[in-house]
Amino acid sequence: MNEISRLVQEAGVAGEGGAGFPAHVKYSSTARLFLVNGAECEPLLGTDQYIMAHFAGRLVSAALSIKEALGAEKVIFAVKDHYREQIAALKNAMAGKDGVALCLMESVYPAGDEQVLLYEAAGIRIPPGGIPPDSDAVVSNAGTLLAVADALEGRPLTHKYLTVSGAVVDPLVLRAPIGTSFSACIERAGGVKTSRPFIISGGPLMGRPIDDGSLDHETVTKTTSGIIVLEEGHYLDLRRRTAPLHMKNRAHASCIQCSLCSDLCPRRLLGSPLRPHLVMRAFAASRGMDELLETRAAKNALLCCECGICEMYACPMELQPCRINILIKEEFRMRGLRPEFPSGEDPSPARPYRRIPSERMAARAGISNYYGLAPQGFEDMSNVRRVSIPLKMHAGVPALPCVKTGEKVEAGSLIACIPQGKLGARIHASISGRVRLFDDRIVIEAESLNE
């Protein structure tokens, strides 16, 4: 483990743009390219844009340190070409520095998908079922990189930048202690503008819907990029409520095998063997999950990036191939199965003409009313009196508490460790206070440490 990886591991940094892969593992390898994902392809989010505009110098410095640790030839910051303030800040930070470049991308969806991003920025293709290191590259987003900058200065990851947007009074970017309740974050944005809100953790298109009645238990984690508020009964709400049996019956009765879902699939356009229309055919015809999982089409569903283009944009019959792909992926995961994939093909020559403009995707998803309402403010949340910190908010196994119920801790102190020999990330106290341990989380309630 190199010095960068050691400091990142001690700080508990996990990838902030997706599954929360422990960053110290990424930076322990070697790679030819280090790519910084600044595309932020999900509509309504402005977290990474805020970070790039206000911390460009620290991001560039941290990226060059990672480049050296990886033995990489260069660093590329990939951002959308209409991010004018961010581009200016990054160019200023890069001035006079070797080995770092800027790649300007069109505002298409899903530009931030790491396979799309690597191909757009560097012409690199990831093999089916592979990850960036398989193609001699490492990818991190802007939020993760800022956490690395803090780690290099000896500060652990205790706070998260996130966007609160949609049907709220004042859309903004927050810096919140990890473990802060979603309710408190929404209150800082002025509260909701609807009597029956529908909440999404993350972006509106690929984020996780919050189940009814569980909002008070939802808290900010290392991977929380945003909190999106919409109205109950919104298209995105109704879409997630469709029962699997109903989806199967609709697929059997209505799928016309037009293949538009496959024609516009961003992974398919890069040469992936994924064919959503064939997944739909297999799903409709199968007599059960065991039979479905034996089909090649279902195995290829594991390659889905869950962007939702197939069902929210492509399908003329309003079917849900993305939801079906997700169900299949979850079933494979529960059974511990990981099939091999056929080799991919060359990217489709039609790809440049089938990329989906982000604004058009937002319109199809029914969020045009909020699309132009970028977060207007920033607030650093203070005086948070209670946090509930999950022990599992990263890829790998849950962290093991190294504190006891009743113990007093200071903000930044280590409260949970990585189990010996396992993949995981450390967790640090985000506020000072007294600890209470639960099976899956650590609660800290603020009080005077002198009591």
C-alpha to C-alpha distance for 439 and 436, rounded to whole angstroms = 10
The pLDDT assigned to 63 comes to 98
Sheet containing strand 208-209, strands side by side: 208-209, 197-201, 226-231, 159-166, 172-177, 377-380
User: CA separation (Å) from 347 to 119, 267, 273, 352, 378?
Assistant: 10, 9, 11, 10, 41
Q: From CA 297, how far away is CA 313, in angstroms rounded?
A: 21
Tallying the residues shown for the chain, one arrives at 451
The confidence score (pLDDT) of residue 77 equals 98
- What letter represents residue 277's amino acid? H
- DSSP 3-state of 108: strand
Q: What's residue 309's pLDDT?
A: 97
Per-residue pLDDT of the chain (451 residues; tens, 9 = 90+): 899 999 999 999 999 977 899 999 999 999 999 999 999 989 999 999 999 999 999 999 999 999 999 999 999 999 999 999 999 999 999 999 999 999 999 999 999 999 999 999 999 999 999 999 999 999 999 999 999 999 999 999 999 999 999 999 999 999 999 999 999 999 999 999 998 999 999 999 999 999 766 777 899 999 999 999 999 999 999 988 889 889 999 998 999 999 999 999 999 999 999 999 999 999 999 999 999 999 999 999 999 999 999 999 999 999 999 999 999 999 999 999 999 998 889 999 999 999 999 999 999 999 998 987 667 789 999 889 999 999 999 999 999 999 999 999 999 999 999 999 999 999 999 999 999 999 999 999 998 645 5
pLDDT digits over 70-111, tens only? 999 999 999 999 999 999 999 999 999 999 999 999 999 999
Pairing outcome for strands 159-166 and 226-231: parallel
DSSP 321: H
Give the whole-angstrom CA distance, residue 215 versus residue 226: 14
147 touches 141 (CB < 8 A): no
**DSSP β-bridge partners for residue 370:** none
- Give the rounded distance of the alpha carbon of 14 from its chain centre: 11
Q: Residue holding tokens 């050691």?
A: 6
What's residue 344's pLDDT? 84
Report the C-alpha gap between 46 and 142 in whole angstroms.
11
Q: Are strands 74-80 and 100-105 parallel, antiparallel or unpaired?
A: parallel
Query: So what's the pLDDT on residue 240?
Result: 86
State the CB neighbour count (10 A cutoff) for residue 219: 25
Q: Is 259 left (phi over 0), alpha (psi -120 to 50) or beta?
A: left
Q: Tokens 């960036």 — which residue?
A: 132
Q: Which run of H or of E encompasses 282?
A: helix 276-285
Per the structure block, which two tokens stand in for 168?
């709220």
pLDDT at 213: 66
User: pTM of the entire structure?
Assistant: 0.94
**Bond preceding residue 110 cis, omega within 30 of 0:** yes
442 DSSP β-pair partners? 389, 437
pLDDT score of 449 = 45
Q: According to the model, what pLDDT value does residue 33 have?
A: 97
- 3-class DSSP assignment, residue 5: helix
Helix 84-94 with 47-54: angle, nearest 10 deg? 40
Q: Are 442 and 415 in contact (CB under 8 A)?
A: yes
Position 152 scores a pLDDT of 97
The string over 12-26, giving b where at least 16 C-beta atoms fall within 10 Å of a residue's C-beta and e elsewhere, is: bbbbbbbebbbbbbb
Q: What are the DSSP E strand ranges found in 21-167?
A: 33-38, 74-80, 100-105, 108-109, 137-141, 159-166
| Domains defined for the chain, CATH in brackets | 3-152 (3.40.50.11540), 159-234+367-380 (3.10.20.600), 244-356 (no CATH), 386-445 (2.40.50)
Return the H-helix or E-strand segment holding 249. helix 244-254
Rounded distance between C-alpha atoms, residue 45 and residue 52, angstroms: 13
